[in-house]
């Protein structure tokens, strides 16, 4: 699906089904430097279970026109423009990593639009190592290697290969997309207040071996969010929807059926 926001093309993968107003809509938000591709094992699963699905490419990511938005606050406001354009309300938002911060800020500003939230591999704040930011800002491929090491070392091998290597392939991608995202994550400061204000049912899915957002940080996040439940996936690193796609999908479906 391609729509226009402020005269720029926005791509959202919809499992080829479009939007049926009689169904609930799940919106999937990708992490730093990534795209809708990371949800490829998830979209069809939920589409086949009578949900509308939308995996949105943020500006400058995947098949959406750039440039990238340089703050979490700007992304939240941009998402609202997308949802208004598509006439979507009573939303289910599922975010991974940076996508969790985007959901936090969106929920803080537009909480009446939300039905349920799923945070995956995220927290209310995501400080980024300065060395990683510096490498990414210089377009250095070592930034990708560091992300892989910190996020996934020791965890299960990926189905279809590591998506970071497949999506972030050039110095330009690293400098103009990944670095912008990492700085936006590092600078976001409203997460704690936003987490305290959440008033809809919320699920947190955490990877036991995640080094980007370690388990204790995730548990601290869970304690802040009222009316939340937490599921920890054993033997899993940061890229939960790829490493343990089947367990993740079943837990999300179970949560949505409650």
Mean pLDDT of the chain: 91
Interval 83-92: pLDDT, tens: 999 999 899 9
Q: What local confidence, expressed as pLDDT, does residue 50 receive?
A: 92
Structural domain boundaries enclosing 235: 2-257
List of residues 6+ apart from 134 with CB closer than 8 A: none
- Band (pLDDT 50/70/90 cuts) for residue 135 is very high
- Band (pLDDT 50/70/90 cuts) for residue 10 is very high
Contacts 24+ apart (CB under 8 A), 249-257: 249/41, 249/42, 249/45, 249/46, 251/203, 251/205, 252/46, 252/94, 252/118, 252/203, 252/205, 253/45, 253/46, 253/49, 255/116, 255/118, 255/201, 255/203, 255/229, 256/24, 256/26, 256/51, 256/92, 256/116
**Across 90-116, average pLDDT:** 97
DSSP bridge pairs for 26: 53, 92
Residue 64 in tokens = 């959406």
Interval 155-207: pLDDT, tens: 555 555 566 666 776 788 899 999 999 999 999 999 999 999 999 999 999 99
Interval 119-131: pLDDT, tens: 999 999 999 989 9
With vertex at residue 247, the alpha carbon angle to CA 241 and CA 250, rounded to the nearest 5 degrees, is 100
pLDDT at 16 over 90: no
Lowest-confidence region among 20-24, 100-104, 147-151: 147-151
Q: How far apart are CA 15 and CA 53, in angstroms?
A: 7
For the domain that residue 16 is a member of, what is the CATH number?
3.40.50.1820
pLDDT at 153 over 70: no
- Band (pLDDT 50/70/90 cuts) for residue 258 is confident
CB-based contact 36:55 (threshold 8 Å): yes
- Band (pLDDT 50/70/90 cuts) for residue 76 is very high
Residues across the chain: 258
Q: How far apart are CA 219 and CA 214, in angstroms?
A: 9
Lowest-confidence region among 139-148, 178-187, 232-241: 139-148
**Across 67-75, average pLDDT:** 97
Q: What local confidence, expressed as pLDDT, does residue 75 receive?
A: 98
Top-confidence residue, 70 or 15: 70
pTM over 0.75: yes
Structural domains in the chain (count): 1
Lowest-confidence region among 14-23, 43-52, 85-94, 121-130: 14-23
Q: How far apart are CA 9 and CA 3, in angstroms?
A: 6
């Amino acid at each position: 699906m391609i729509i226009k926001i402020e005269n720029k093309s926005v791509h959202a993968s919809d499992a080829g089904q479009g939007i049926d107003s009689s169904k609930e809509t799940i919106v999937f938000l990708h992490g730093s430097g990534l795209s809708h591709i990371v949800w490829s094992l998830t979209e069809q699963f939920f589409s086949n279970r009578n949900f509308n699905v939308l995996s949105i490419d943020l500006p400058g990511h995947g098949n959406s026109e750039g440039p990238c938005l340089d703050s979490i606050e700007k992304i939240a406001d941009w998402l609202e423009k997308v949802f208004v354009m598509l006439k979507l309300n009573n939303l289910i938002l599922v975010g991974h990593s940076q996508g969790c911060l985007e959901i936090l800020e969106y929920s803080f500003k537009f909480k009446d639009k939300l039905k349920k939230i799923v945070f995956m591999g995220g927290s209310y704040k995501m400080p980024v190592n300065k060395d990683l930011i510096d490498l990414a800002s210089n377009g250095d491929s070592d930034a990708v290697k560091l992300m892989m090491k910190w996020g996934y070392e020791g965890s299960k091998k990926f189905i279809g290969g590591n998506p970071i290597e497949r999506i972030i392939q050039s110095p330009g991608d690293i400098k103009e997309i990944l670095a912008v995202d990492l700085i936006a994550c590092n600078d976001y400061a409203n997460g704690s207040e936003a987490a305290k204000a959440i008033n809809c049912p919320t699920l947190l899915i955490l990877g036991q071996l995640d080094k980007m957002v370690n388990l204790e940080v995730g548990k601290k996040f869970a304690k802040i969010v009222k009316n939340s439940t937490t599921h920890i996936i054993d033997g899993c690193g940061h890229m939960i929807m790829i490493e343990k796609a089947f367990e993740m999908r079943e837990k999300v479906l179970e949560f949505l059926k409650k």
